[in-house]
Amino acid sequence: MDILAPAKINLTLRILGKRADGYHELESVMQMLTLADRLTITDAETLHFTCSDPALATAENLVVRAAKRLRLHSAIPRGAHIHLDKVIPTQAGLGGGSSDAAAALLALNEFWELRLPMEALAGMAAELGSDVPFFLDGPTAVVRGRGEYIAPVARAAECHVVLAKPATGLSTAEVYARLAAPPLPATGSAVVPATEAMVTALASGNPTAIARALINDMQSAAFALLPELDRLSERMLQQGCLAVLLCGSGSTLFGICPNERIARHAALDLTNDSPWTWAGPWMTAR
Ligand code: C5P
C-alpha cells in the first residue's frame, strides 16, 4: 500500500498567547502542497521501518511512534514494513514529520483493517504533535488551539508557489522560545481578523489578494535567528513573487507567484541563493 504525505504552508499564523502548559494558542490557515513524501507499507511479522534518508530511520521517527501508538490503541500485535521515501526537507517548517505521522495513522488503520473512526485517529494525532491533526484533514483548513481544532475551508483555487530553504534549519521549539509571547488572556482568544481576510482572499482565487493577506507572527523571531532569510526573501521578490513569507517556524520561505511559469523560473534562478528550491501548485483536493 502506498500513501502520499503532503507538505504544508501556513498562509496565516497568529500567535494568540502562551498557555499555562507552555504551548502557544494559535490560529492559522494551513494549506497542503503537491510536494509530498511517500510511505509504502508491506506485510511483515514485526514492525519494521526504513527510510531513504538513513539518518531518519530511527525508533524516534514519528512514523514509528504513530504505528506503535495505533497498535497500542487497538491491542492488535500486527506487524508491517513501512518505508518512507523522504522528499520534504526537515527543520523546514513544512510539516514533513507531522504529515508522515498522519499518513502512517491513516494507512495502517486501513492496512490492519482496524476501522477506527476519524475521532480516534485525531486524538492520537494530537498526542503525536501539534501539526499532526491537520494532516488527517486538509487540503485547506483553519487550525486553532495548539493545532487540534480543524475547520476545513471550502475548496480554494489553485495557486503556484515557490519554496527556498537555506542550508541551516530551524527548531520549532527554539523559534517559539524566541517569541516571548504574552500569557493567553483569561477571557480566551479574540476572533482573528487575519483568518477571515485570508478565507475571503482564497475564495477570490486571486494570487494578489492571497499575497496581501499573508501573515506569520513567527517570522521576525526566525529572521533574528537566521539573518540570511532577509536576503533570500529579497531575492524571491526580485524573481517575481507577489509576496514572501516564512513557512511555519521556518527555515523555508514560500513565495506566492502570479503563474506557473514565474514559479518554475524562480525555483531555477534561486538555486544560486539556496541549496533547496521547489516550485509547484498547492493541493486543491485530496
Ligand atoms: O507539538 P510539537 O511537538 O510539534 O511542538 C514542538 C514544540 O513547539 C513544543 O515543545 C513547544 O515548545 C512548541 N509549540 C508551542 N505551541 C504550539 C506548538 C508547538 O509552543 N502550538
Among the atoms of ligand 1, which is closest to the Cα of residue 249?
8
Beta-sheet pairing, 80-85 with 253-257: unpaired
Entry pTM: 0.96
Catalytic residues: 8, 131
172 lines ligand 1 (CB under 6 A): yes
Which triple of cell numbers denotes residue 217?
507572527
Whose CA is closest to atom 6 on ligand 1?
173
* Identity of the amino acid at 21: D
Report the distance separating Cα 255 and Cα 4, nearest Å. Answer: 23
Average pLDDT over residues 114-120: 96
Instruction: Give 11-64 as a DSSP string.
Output: EEEEEEEE-TTSPEEEEEEEEEEEEEEEEEEE--SSEEEEESSGGG-STTSHHH
If you measure from the C-alpha of residue 106 to the centroid of ligand 1, how many angstroms do you get, rounded to a whole number?
23
If you measure from the C-alpha of residue 68 to the centroid of ligand 1, how many angstroms do you get, rounded to a whole number?
21
149 lines ligand 1 (CB under 6 A): no
Q: Cell 508491506, residue? A: 42
Which triple of cell numbers denotes residue 239?
524573481
* Predicted local confidence at residue 184, as pLDDT: 80
User: Are the C-beta atoms of 9 and 135 separated by less than 8 Å?
Assistant: no
- 150-187 tens-digit pLDDT: 999 987 789 999 999 999 999 999 999 999 887 887 66
